[in-house]
Amino acid sequence: MQLPEQLIAGSSVGFAHLQRGPDARWQLHAINPALASLLSLNDSLMDRPIDQAFIQLWSVPDFKQLMLDLDLIVDNEQLEFFNPVRLCWQWLEVYKQAEDQCWLALQDISPLDSYQATLQLLLTMAQQFMNMPVEELNQRFDQALAAMGKFVAADRVYIFRYDLAQGHCSNTHEWCAPGVQPEIDNLQQIPVGAITEWLSAHQNGKEMYVADVPALPEGDPLREILFPQGIQSILTLPLVYQGVLKGFVGFDWVKGHHRYTERERSILAFFVELVVSVQIRLAVLQELMAAKTKAEQASKAKSEFLANMSHELRTPLNAIIGFADLLQTNQQPEAKQQLKTIAKQGRHLLSIVNDLLDLSQIEAGKLALHHQPTDLLALLRQSLALVRERALSKGVELRVRLPSSLPGLVLVDAARLQQVVVNLLSNAVKFTPSGWVELVLVINGQQFSTLDIHLEVQDSGIGMDQAQMRQLFQAFAQGDSSRTKQYEGSGMGLVISQKLLAKMGAQLRVQSRLNKGSCFSFDLSLPLDEAVTSSLSPKLDGKRILLVEEQETDALILKQQLQDLGAEVEHFDNGFSALQAVADQHFDLLILASEMPFVDGLTTASMVREQLRLHAHQLPIALVQRKEMDEYLKQQCQRLAIAAVLSYPVPMAQLFQMFIKQVKSTG
């Protein structure tokens, strides 16, 4: 179809001539004055690709799709669409002149009043915002502010975000009419204390409207803020999501006063809901992007960790199941050695599970420290005893440098501190094929009732290079993943130790040289216990104590400690044997491990109280546990009149103090 040039030039209908460019893309070749007026185009856009020439309409989905489908049009095509720039409906016809040329005819269908046009614009934007890429949201958002500003004839439209936790608010988006000074850079982190009246209204879901700012009384806080900006009238509307105040939308009139109408109110209420929806979508998208980045960073380390853990869990389980099957048919003397292997692999599996539980508790912020009077030297000697057997089996010499005495007992979570020390010693023995491991305690000083100590574990083992040391304290990572095949372990011990020391106010440090050995150390300030000190020299001369503990190493250490204080100690590894002994003999104290096979500590204590009818004044009971005390355990201990709940290493002074209380209560 060939259109007469005279018709095109003098018509009130807008015409555009399109043709293919050298790159086969459709380009804007010519326009008539009417189209230039309808779409605010000029000659600088000639010979531009249509997505650049019609950029203002490219956000209209139907218009964009029609332009992309120009090659498919045989003769002509029509389209009715809403123009967000002119705020009216328009009619578009496309006339195909040849395979490489076509004409566009554009005209307004019927001009809308500003209310209808703005409402239509908001509806269109609401539909577009739902599926718009995040990178386009901010640009389109600014267009929405401009449309609202034109609708209410405002000179400045803006959005503020409240951060009530930090006590301030900040300007995030702004549109200004021509000739109006932007203020967004000057309105960052404004203290909410300066706008208390404003904030109070918004928290109650109410708008804040001042029709005549200059008429506010001298000294009014709002006048002091608004008048210097030349604001004559102002309106702010709260942005609320699920009952939580997020921010507000504001309108300033600088060139004159403005009377707020109900018609404007209805449109702005719709706009506020649109703003909230877009802001929530932006926040969700940003959180998803941050979570995606974090997950990708952790993915590699976690995958490697899970692979290692799979190996660590399967190996001991296979040994347990395999030897258990053998024992069903094999009654030869080697059965004893097979049982030892089962016990060893079971304890290894238990240590891995304990590490997992500890790490999960620490990461969740649920691990609490329980301070108690502790003999620090006894704790360190017991820690050495726990790794001595493995060191001897490897031919590794255990060295120790400890002070001969300390000023008194210290207040610390003994179980957690020993967990750290044993972990450092175990690692040192593990990574020392031959040579020595040394435990050193140095007293840095004593100030009033606080003891400052320096503790280190040195070894002559395989050491580490700088790359391995950088990964050392990362969760789900080991100094060298290839070592997992040679040295058993989950790679969580040092991470747990570091986090435990951090809760105690200390930092774990490391020095190491490849093939030369390593040194792990930390400094700790420990309160001295003023109520019970080692100077009391507790004695248990003649006291008969029944110790019930299934773990052989712990039982031997505790039995020796009690005997050193003059007590007569009888030991059983299960609750049934202990109940028979209690029924037949007199004991001054019953010490029960909380975790035992068949009959645990609480069950044994319950049978002593309820079946043997031995009350607290007749037989005091102390419970020794390896896990955190929960509410159930606390309630049961109160019900059974447990005199003390202790943790390994057991502080002798605390046992002695328990005896003193018992004597006073029964005296």
Q: Is 613 helix (H, G, I), strand (E, B) or coil?
A: coil
Of 52, 50, 43, the C-alpha closest to 28 is: 50
The two three-digit tokens of residue 321, written as one number:
């199941």
Residues with Cβ < 8 Å from 352, sequence gap 6 or more? 309, 312, 313, 490
Residues with Cβ < 8 Å from 622, sequence gap 6 or more? 589, 590, 591, 592, 642, 643, 644, 645, 646, 655, 658
- Alpha-carbon gap, residue 20 to 538, rounded angstroms: 101
What is the number of alpha carbons within 13 Å of residue 13 lying toward its C-beta? 14
What is the number of alpha carbons within 13 Å of residue 251 lying toward its C-beta? 29
Q: How many residues does the chain have?
A: 667
Distance from CA of residue 538 to its chain's centroid? 47
How confident is residue 442, by pLDDT bands cut at 50, 70 and 90?
very high
Give the DSSP letter string of 226-255. Answer: HGGGT-SEEEEEEEEETTEEEEEEEEEE-S
Q: Is 434 helix (H, G, I), strand (E, B) or coil?
A: coil
Residue found under tokens 């023995």: 429
478 compared with 594, residue with greater pLDDT: 594
Q: Alpha helices of 398-525 — where are they, by DSSP H?
A: 414-430, 466-470, 493-503
130 compared with 456, residue with greater pLDDT: 456
**pLDDT at 534 (0 to 100):** 42
Contacts of range 13-16, beta carbons closer than 8 Å, 24 or more positions apart: 13/105, 13/106, 13/107, 14/38, 14/39, 14/104, 14/105, 14/106, 14/107, 15/103, 15/104, 15/105, 15/106, 16/103, 16/104, 16/106
217 compared with 123, residue with greater pLDDT: 217
639 compared with 532, residue with greater pLDDT: 639
Helix (H) or strand (E) holding 453: strand 450-459
Q: What's the Cα-to-Cα distance from 449 to each of 92, 375, 504, rounded to whole Å?
A: 88, 15, 17
- Alpha-carbon gap, residue 280 to 138, rounded angstroms: 13
Of 423, 409, 420, the C-alpha closest to 503 is: 420
How confident is residue 7, by pLDDT bands cut at 50, 70 and 90?
very low
Residue found under tokens 């960790």: 305
Helix (H) or strand (E) holding 521: strand 517-527
- Alpha-carbon gap, residue 61 to 65, rounded angstroms: 6
- For 293-327, the pLDDT digits (tens) are 776 666 556 545 644 554 555 556 555 655 555 56
Residue found under tokens 């995030």: 172
Complete edge-to-edge strand list for the sheet that includes strand 544-548: 568-572, 544-548, 589-593, 621-625, 644-647
The end-to-end CA distance of the chain, in Å, is: 119
- CB-based contact 569:540 (threshold 8 Å): no
- For 185-204, the pLDDT digits (tens) are 988 998 988 888 889 999 99
* DSSP state letter for 18: E
Among 288-297, 347-356, 607-616, the range of highest mean pLDDT? 607-616
* DSSP state letter for 151: H
Q: Which residues pair with 528 in a beta bridge?
A: 410
% of the chain with per-residue pLDDT over 90: 23
Q: What are phi and psi of 62, to 5 degrees?
A: -65, -40
How confident is residue 346, by pLDDT bands cut at 50, 70 and 90?
low
The two three-digit tokens of residue 344, written as one number:
């060893």
- CB-based contact 492:423 (threshold 8 Å): no
Average pLDDT, the chain: 79
- For 587-631, the pLDDT digits (tens) are 999 999 888 766 788 889 999 998 888 988 889 999 888 666 677
| Res. 542: pLDDT tops 70 | yes
**pLDDT at 554 (0 to 100):** 76
- CB-based contact 270:239 (threshold 8 Å): no
- For 615-627, the pLDDT digits (tens) are 888 899 998 886 6
- CB-based contact 197:236 (threshold 8 Å): no
| Res. 479: pLDDT tops 60 | no
The two three-digit tokens of residue 101, written as one number:
């040329």
The two three-digit tokens of residue 538, written as one number:
């507790």
**pLDDT at 6 (0 to 100):** 46
| Res. 524: pLDDT tops 60 | yes
Q: What's the Cα-to-Cα distance from 238 to each of 148, 196, 200, 478, rounded to whole Å?
A: 16, 14, 11, 51
What burial letters (b/e) apply to 437-474, b meaning 16+ CB within 10 Å?
A: bbbbbeeeeeeeeebebebbbbbbbbbbeeebbeebee
Give the DSSP letter string of 403-415. Answer: -S--SS-EEE-HH
- CB-based contact 598:572 (threshold 8 Å): no
Instruction: Give 137: exposed, middle or buried? Use CB within 10 Å, 0-12, 13-18, 19+.
Output: middle
State the SS3 of 331-347: CCCCHHHHHHHHHHHHH
